[in-house]
Structure 1
Amino acid sequence: MSPILVISVITIYFLVLMGISWLTSRKNDNLTFFTANRQSPWYLVAFGMIGASLSGVTFISVPGEVGNTAFAYFQVVLGYLVGYFVIATVLLPLYYRLNLISIYTYLEQRFGKYSYKSGAFFFLLSRIVGSSFRLFLVAGVLQLAIFDAYGWPFSVTVAITIALIWLYTFRGGIKTIVWTDTLQTLFMISAVAISIYLMKDALDMSWLQLSEKVSASGYSEIFVWDWQSGQNFFKQFISGAFIAIVMTGLDQDMMQKNLTCRSLKDAQKNMFWFCIVLVIVNFMFLSMGALLYIYAGEMNIAIPARTDDLYPLLALEHFPLVAGVVFLLGIIAAAYSSADSALTALTTSFCVDFLGLGQNDKPISKKIRIRVHLAFSVILFLVIIAFKAINDQSVITAVFKAAGYTYGPILGLFTFGLITKYQLKDKWVPLVALLSPVISYIINANSEAWFGGYKFGFEILVVNGLLTFFGLFLIRKAELELT
């Protein structure tokens, strides 16, 4: 694909995003950046959250991972449904009742300043790492499609990628993102649907024949019952439930969108439809993954060593031109729909949770907010460059592995606050929050030797949360009643 064509497609795409940013940021006050004035239509939030939750990781890594684990990832997706039910019935009512801007403010009200800062810190760490992984994907694709031809270094690609996000989010914030995420989700789903159709056409099969081909290939196996396997059903299902709770319900990025809805009822309606569509879309990605391997086999195309490279390779070098263009739009939309809201959420959390803006009658300064927004852009750039130097595994595995260690303390803190009436010796909470991931890592590294061959998968997140909960129980105060 011609680099000039790629640049033209990307330019038009971002001009559209800039136009949306201009329309949604007119006559806004500074608070609009953080809350969108609580006026977002629930159906826009629900549809836009699809792209934000899937991101470039799902777009590239999930189809590629089908070659290693077939449809086993769908077991995690089924577990999401349980997690989203908990979010809709337990967490959203709490957040709306307390009228929160940052969800971690709850921890201060429940336990104290150190608990609050610990939760917010681990969110910042989690989201910086996760967003860097996701942006690494799209930067790699842009490097392959455009900048290699001009001899530009990877660092320039990353800088351009992040600069574009900053330009269309620094004014409108979450209000802009609700609308741009809707557009980006549409591009992403369209890219998958068109890719599937073009492969069906190239293989000269009917939809029924294509379905039978996937079923007979072995790629469509979903359930794994071997208890020692990291893809065991119960491990994956339970992990999926907790991943949904922590990476959506306890994540400022995802909850900030929900909290822009007009009412709790609208936010719950949004969550209900979001989880249904998310399951369908994930199944589409897995089906496309199976077809990518079948297509490569039928066309005698060598499978790349890194499974993450399969879809980009086929789309950019072997599919018709229209498929390459659609793929680029899809991967850019997928990555940016996650990264733009993450940058806004990082800015919100730092301004509210660490600078105290918007609390105790302390005004939200636009100048400070823009500086924080820019600072996090620079931090993402530096982390992506570091990740480029050390990454040696499937990105989706890396993302969830990182989340298992960094979201665990948040899970433990919120769970302890919601299901117990104990107060804590607040100053000891940061120590518990730091030790729990370390102990979890040690357990994970030695699990096969200690537990008869048992391998932890994504459920290391649950272990981390339980360790945090136990640690908090040890530092509880004697009184039971909340004060």
Structure 2
Amino acid sequence: MTPTVAILSVLIYFVVLFGISYVTGRKADNAGFFVGNRKSPWYMVAFAMIGSGISGVTFVSVPGMVATSGFSYLQMVLGFVVGQLIIAYVLIPLFYRMNLMSIYGYLEERFGFSSYKTGAWFFFISKMLGAAVRLFLVCLTMQLIIFEAYGVPFLVNVGLTMFLVWLYTFKGGVKSLIWTDSFKTLCLIVSVVLCIVYISDDLGDRVGGVVGVIGESEYSRMFFFDDINDRRFFFKQFLAGIFTVIATTGLDQDMMQRNLSCKNYRDSQKNVLTGGVMQFFIIALFLMLGTLLYTYADSHGIAHPTKSDELFPMLATGSFFPPIVGILFIVGLVSSAFSAAGSALTALTTSFTLDILKADTKRSEEKSARVRRRVHIAMAVVMGLVIYFFERVSSTSVIDAVYVLASYTYGPILGLFFFGILSKRSVHDRYVPIVALAAPVLCYILQSHSEQWFDGYKFSYELLIFNALFTAVGLALLGKGKKIPS
């Protein structure tokens, strides 16, 4: 694939994207930016959420992970489905009943101001780092495919990327994102399906026959029950999936901003449940694609790349398949990456404006809108600087450390909400930040010594559960000994 073809593909995509953003967001006010005026059709939100939950990292990494993990990721996705039930029937009614624009407003009403700020800041750090890492991977891929051929510096690449993300979200916020994400989800699904079709044809069989090939492949094993120390062990993955989706969707301002944009909580419940089921099948498509990519590489004697997430880009943009496969890869990558980045930028703007600056409650509509626009620009600049920082010090260990940090920051949020919902006890609010900081530290100590302390047991994603548990225990110790009114 030539850089010119890649550029044209991206430009055509963005012309359509900006057209949708302009039409849907030209009359948006603050309520439209923050929660879409609570008028979004639930089926559109459900479809859009697929694109929001799949980042550029997912797009290139999930197909590559089948080499070492098979289809074990689907064990965790099954947990996602159960977690969506809890979100739908516990969190959604609660947030709608309280009429929240920012879900962290619950923490202020339940515990106090310090708890509220703690939740907001943990979300802010986690989302900023997570979104920046995802966009870093995309900027790096685009640098190799497009910008390097024209001698464009990485800093200019980052600046242009963040400008495009800011441009299509600055006016309409959530109101625009619901529709642009629906378009991006469509592009994402079509690109993956057509890639599967083209690779199937190249392997000399139609899709129906290739499904049988996938079922017989060593890469397609899904369930792992034999070794509890294996990070792929079913119950570790399944339980972690339940709590991960509650934390990263149900207690994430980015994701819940869409759910709160539905007309009422029943429509929002339909959206959550439908999206959860659809996500399972979309992830399965990515894993099927990965199996086909490895099968193709093995059958043609192509050496596997050192890093598994390089396989899809290498085969798609190389001379192995027709040019249309490379174009579909670019469109799918851009769709998934900008969907995640756009939603993260909107959520960061919302949380910082409402939770940290309290602009919505202290100022008029016009002044609040002015503050929100300035915060939106600031968030885009900060995210761009973080991406550039990753490029300066980039190494696998740094990126991995940021992902670990991002996953750790959801633990205290999960613990705060669960303690608040399941218990009626009040706490000494001013000490809550100390508990929230101590919980991840204890988790780090636990993870570092688990093999020594627990006969070789190695923690995986289930560490999030312990992070939340440590937070809840700490809150219990801070209890005032009296219950809040029912």
TM category, shorter: over 0.9
Cα distance per residue 1:417-458 (max 9 Å; x no partner): 000011110000001111111111111111111111011111
Partner AA of 2:345 in structure 1:
L
Q: Using the alignment, how far apart are the partners of 2:389 and 2:293 within structure 1?
A: 30
Q: Using the alignment, how far apart are the partners of 2:152 and 2:199 within structure 1?
A: 33
| C-alpha deviation, 1:394, in angstroms | 11
Q: Residue 59 of structure 1 aligns with which residue?
A: 59
Q: Residue 446 of structure 2 aligns with which residue?
A: 443
Q: 1:369 aligns with which of 333, 347, 372?
A: 372
Q: Residue 40 of structure 1 aligns with which residue?
A: 40
Q: Residue 231 of structure 1 aligns with which residue?
A: 232
Moved more, 359-368 or 24-33: 359-368
Q: Residue 7 of structure 1 aligns with which residue?
A: 7
Q: 1:321 aligns with which of 320, 323, 329?
A: 323
| C-alpha deviation, 1:208, in angstroms | 4.1
Identical pairs, percent: 48
Q: Residue 352 of structure 1 aligns with which residue?
A: 354
Q: Is the 8 A contact 2:197 2:206 kept in 1?
A: no
Q: Is the 8 A contact 1:316 1:324 kept in 2?
A: yes
| C-alpha deviation, 1:482, in angstroms | 3.3
Q: Residue 28 of structure 1 aligns with which residue?
A: 28
Q: Using the alignment, how far apart are the partners of 2:417 and 2:37 within structure 1?
A: 26
Partner AA of 2:395 in structure 1:
N
Q: Is the 8 A contact 1:28 1:172 kept in 2?
A: yes
Gaps of 5+ in 2: none
Q: Using the alignment, how far apart are the partners of 1:45 and 1:393 within structure 2?
A: 36
Cα distance per residue 1:59-93 (max 9 Å; x no partner): 11111111111111111101001110000000000
Q: 1:382 aligns with which of 385, 390, 405?
A: 385
Q: Is the 8 A contact 2:125 2:406 kept in 1?
A: no
Q: 2:395 aligns with which of 391, 397, 401?
A: 391
Please give the secondary structure, in 1, of the residue aligned with 2:134: helix
Q: Using the alignment, how far apart are the partners of 1:248 and 1:90 within structure 2?
A: 13
1:401 aligns with 2:415: no
For 1:266-285, what aligned pairs fall within 5 Å after superposition? Answer: 266-285=267-286
For 1:166-315, what aligned pairs fall within 5 Å after superposition? Answer: 166-225=166-225, 226-315=227-316
Moved more, 27-36 or 47-56: 27-36
| C-alpha deviation, 1:398, in angstroms | 6.3
After TM superposition, the score normalised by the length of structure 2 is 0.96
Partner AA of 1:281 in structure 2:
I
Q: 1:413 aligns with which of 394, 411, 416?
A: 416
Please give the secondary structure, in 1, of the residue aligned with 2:55: helix
Please give the secondary structure, in 1, of the residue aligned with 2:147: helix
Moved more, 400-409 or 138-147: 400-409
Structure-2 change in CA distance of 1:394 and 1:267 (3 Å): farther
Q: 1:457 aligns with which of 435, 460, 470?
A: 460
Q: Using the alignment, how far apart are the partners of 2:18 and 2:271 within structure 1?
A: 26
Q: Residue 429 of structure 2 aligns with which residue?
A: 426
Partner AA of 1:417 in structure 2:
G
| C-alpha deviation, 1:308, in angstroms | 1.1
Q: Is the 8 A contact 2:27 2:172 kept in 1?
A: no
Structure-2 change in CA distance of 1:81 and 1:55 (3 Å): same
Q: Using the alignment, how far apart are the partners of 1:261 and 1:270 within structure 2?
A: 9
Q: Is the 8 A contact 1:306 1:394 kept in 2?
A: no
Partner AA of 1:390 in structure 2:
S
Q: Using the alignment, how far apart are the partners of 2:120 and 2:467 within structure 1?
A: 17
Q: Using the alignment, how far apart are the partners of 2:380 and 2:395 within structure 1?
A: 21
Partner AA of 1:310 in structure 2:
L
Partner AA of 1:149 in structure 2:
A
Moved more, 6-15 or 414-423: 6-15
Q: Using the alignment, how far apart are the partners of 2:60 and 2:398 within structure 1?
A: 10
Cα distance per residue 1:172-206 (max 9 Å; x no partner): 11111000000000000111101100110001013
Q: Using the alignment, how far apart are the partners of 2:270 and 2:352 within structure 1?
A: 29
Q: Residue 121 of structure 1 aligns with which residue?
A: 121
Partner AA of 1:384 in structure 2:
I
Moved more, 211-220 or 112-121: 211-220
Moved more, 144-153 or 111-120: 144-153
Cα distance per residue 1:348-393 (max 9 Å; x no partner): 0000001112226764622211111111111111222233323316
| C-alpha deviation, 1:216, in angstroms | 2.7
Structure-2 change in CA distance of 1:301 and 1:393 (3 Å): farther
Q: Using the alignment, how far apart are the partners of 1:420 and 1:313 within structure 2?
A: 52
Moved more, 467-476 or 386-395: 386-395
Aligned alpha-carbon RMSD (Å): 1.6
Please give the secondary structure, in 2, of the residue aligned with 1:219: helix
Q: Is the 8 A contact 1:356 1:362 kept in 2?
A: no
After TM superposition, the score normalised by the length of structure 1 is 0.97
Number of residue pairs the alignment of both structures matches: 482
Gaps of 5+ in 1: none
Q: Is the 8 A contact 1:422 1:482 kept in 2?
A: no
| C-alpha deviation, 1:316, in angstroms | 0.3
Please give the secondary structure, in 2, of the residue aligned with 1:477: strand
Please give the secondary structure, in 2, of the residue aligned with 1:248: helix
Please give the secondary structure, in 2, of the residue aligned with 1:417: helix
Q: Is the 8 A contact 1:403 1:461 kept in 2?
A: no
Partner AA of 2:257 in structure 1:
Q
